[in-house]
Amino acid sequence: MENILEINGLCKSYEGFALRDVSFALPKGYIMGFVGQNGSGKTTTIRSILNMAHPDSGKISVFGLDSRKDSVKIREGLGIVFDSLYLADHLDAKHIEMQLRPFYSDWSREEFFRRLKAFGLPDNKPVGEFSKGMKMKLMIAAALSHNARLMILDEPTSGLDPVARDELLDILTEYIEDEERSVLFSTHITADVERIADFITVLHNGKVWFSGTKDDLAESYVVLKGSEEDLPAAVREKCIGFHGYRNGFEALLPTDHLAGLPGELEHEKASIDEILVYIAKEDKNERASQDTAV
Amino acid sequence: MSELRKILRYDFISAVPVTGTFCGIALAVCLITALFGVPLGLVSFPLTAVFFASSKELSKSSDVIEGVLPASRNSFIRSKFAELTLSFLAGGAMAVLFYLLSCLKLLTGILPEKLEHSVRAMDGFLDTAGVTMPKLCGIIVIFSAYFCAVIAAAIMVMELCRHKWDTVIMAAMGLATLILLSVFVDKIAELPIRTVIIISAAAFLGSLMISLICCQVTCRISKDLEI
């Protein structure tokens, strides 16, 4: 598989936050869900891809080009959707089209207005008056009009109503149909990722916790439940986000450790949402044990 | 089309719907009145300044656009200085042109007698105050050049400080301007016209140079700064 985006050993530190050795790759023709809690480093990674943030170390390559040296060339092939509109919001879509056209050699005016029509966007109303969903669609229409090969979306569905979210996900699925284009889709709404993503990268505290196919992730972890007394100590150590309560416990367990578990313990497939929750709980547990040690 | 031209076009399209019509009509009025001998065009400098301010402010919702559009960081910075220099110096130059045009009084003759008399009386009005029209033109060119240079320096400092001290910088700039102008306006009336013309030409060229230097410094330093 040819990778459209490759990140290797990306490190970037700010005061109170650091991205540490972030590495993952997105193959051509697929959608990658980029998930993690707020503050896990998703936006910093995206800003680094766009050369808006400068990595301390590591290498980012998009379309086989270096993100620092060839950022202008890279941006010509990117479609970017942020959670808020970055275009002049007092202008209507016609003027926006006039502004953007010269920047892209592949720009198609017909495609832009065809998309506007298809998305039900008026071209004579200031885009600042658009709803959030309409603004997303406008940014997507712009991306599709210059034949972007990689669409990067940073939290596009947060704040969207369910219908608009559904529409957006359909558009993204349609976008990659020709198998030449890819989508990197950052979100903390994991239901969206479960619906459309082929690959998932989970970022936690500035580090990649998992990166692979959605199926691999689903098969790699289970939610384990039962009585604490039935849980062998060796397995207890492997549990992630262990949460004990009066009548038993719940924890996330890598499937590698399922063999030989007592039959009294129940386990079921973990959803992405559950995985994120248990990772966060593990953090909490670690902090609590550090506090106890102190 | 070069990156710089694309960005200038981008900003121009942003500004036209908001201030373009107003500035366009105002400049047309300046031109028409100049034909009748009324030097109203002396106000063209603040008009172009308004257009400049609006073009950059309205062109985007945030700096993110610099990370989205396929153009280099340096081109975005150069566009800021190019717009500043063009609008301020063009404003100053237009003021002079409109003044010269008004001196020709091309259409004054077709005005009703009373109005024509008033227009001609205007020439002597400022003379009695010690500020002749040519001198006023020179002052306006000096003003526009001064503002161009000061704002270029302010843009440079604001870019390099990552817009953290914008209010302080603007306030300091405003204060310095007030002090300088209060001193300058007192002195200017006493200067001979030839000196005023020399100062205004020097100020015009000087502000061009300052803007160019500020632009180069900002480009060089900010290439390593994040958006």
Residues A92-101: tens digit of each pLDDT:
999 999 999 9
Distances (CA, A) of A104 to A108, A155, B56: 9, 25, 21
**Which residues 65-84 in chain B show a CB within 8 A of chain A?**
65-72
**Minimum Cα–Cα distance from B65: chain A residue:** A86
CA-wise closest residue to B20 among B12, B31, B28: B12
Q: What is the pLDDT of residues B66-95, one digit of tens each?
A: 889 999 989 998 998 998 888 888 888 888
**Reported confidence tier of residue B211, pLDDT bands at 50, 70, 90:** very high
Q: State residue A94's pLDDT score.
A: 94
- For all residues of chain A together, what is the average pLDDT? 89
Unique residue bearing structure tokens 């006023």:
B136
For residue B12 the two structure tokens come to: 């121009």
Whether the Cβ atoms of residue A202 and residue A34 lie closer than 8 Å to each other: no
Nearest by CB to B69, from A53, A75, A89: name it. A75
Give contacts of A138 with chain B, Cβ < 8 Å: none
In one-letter notation, the amino acid at residue A165 is R
User: Which pLDDT value is given to residue A73?
Assistant: 94
Assign A26 to helix, strand or coil: strand
Does residue B61 carry a pLDDT above 60?
Answer: no
Helices (H) and strands (E) in chain A, counts: 10, 14
Contact yes or no for B226 and A103 at CB 8 A: no
Helix (H, G, I), strand (E, B) or coil at B161: coil
pLDDT of residue A285: 74
Which pLDDT score, from 0 to 100, does residue A202 have? 92
- The average pLDDT across A20-40 equals 92
Tokens of A117: 């029509």
Task: Please report, for residues A128, A209, B108, B109, B117, the alpha-carbon distance to residue B112 in angstroms, rounded to integers and kept in the order given.
Answer: 50, 85, 9, 8, 9
Between A and B, how many residue pairs show a Cβ–Cβ distance under 8 A?
73
CA distances from A11 to A5, A21, A63 (A): 17, 5, 21
At A213 the pLDDT is 93
Q: Check residue B84 and give its pLDDT.
A: 86
- Give the mutation candidate from B68, B222, B225 for the A interface (greatest A CB count, under 10 A): B68
Contacts of A56 by beta carbon, 8 Å cutoff, 6+ apart: A11, A12, A13
- Residue A263's identity, in one-letter code, is G
Complex-level ipTM: 0.83
Q: Residue A73: list chain B partners with CB under 8 A.
A: 70
Q: What are the tens digits of pLDDT across the range A161-214?
A: 888 888 888 989 998 988 889 999 998 888 888 889 999 999 988 999 999 999
The segment(s) of chain A belonging to CATH 3.40.50.300 are 3-217
Residue B125 banded pLDDT, cuts 50, 70, 90: low
A 10 A CB-CB count for A264 gives: 10
DSSP state of B70: S
- Contact across the interface for B17 and A89, Cβ inside 8 Å: no
Best probe of the B interface among A52, A95, A96, by most B CBs < 10 A, is: A52
Flag whether pLDDT at B56 surpasses 70.
no
Which residues of chain B make contact with A49, given a CB cutoff of 8 A? none
The beta-carbon neighbor of A103 closest among B61, B71, B224 is B71
Q: Which pLDDT band holds residue A294 (cuts at 50, 70, 90)?
A: low
Task: Tell me how far apart the alpha carbons of residues B10 and A91 are, in angstroms, rounded to a whole number.
Answer: 11
User: Measured between CB atoms, does B4 come within 8 Å of chain A?
Assistant: no
| CATH fit for domain A3-217, picks 3.40.50.300, 2.40.30.60, 3.90.245.10, 3.40.50.1010 | 3.40.50.300
Confidence of residue B184 (pLDDT cuts 50, 70, 90): confident
User: Can you give the pLDDT at residue A235?
Assistant: 84
A77: helix, strand or coil: coil
DSSP state of B17: I
Averaged pLDDT, A82-91: 86
Residue of higher predicted confidence among A224 and B57: A224
Could you tell me how far CA B171 lies from the centroid of its own chain? 19
In whole angstroms, give the CA distance from residue A192 to residue B126: 72
Beta-bridge partners for A210 = A202
Chain B's closest residue to A55, CA to CA, is B226
pLDDT tier at A125, thresholds 50, 70, 90 = very high
The CA–CA distances, whole Å, from A166 to A60, A83, A84, A163, B31 equal 31, 16, 18, 5, 56
Cα distances (angstroms) measured from residue B210 to each of A188, B155, B178, B214? 48, 12, 20, 6
Mutate to test the interface with A, among B5, B18, B63, B64 (most CBs of A within 10 A): B64
Closest-CA residue of chain A to B62 = A86
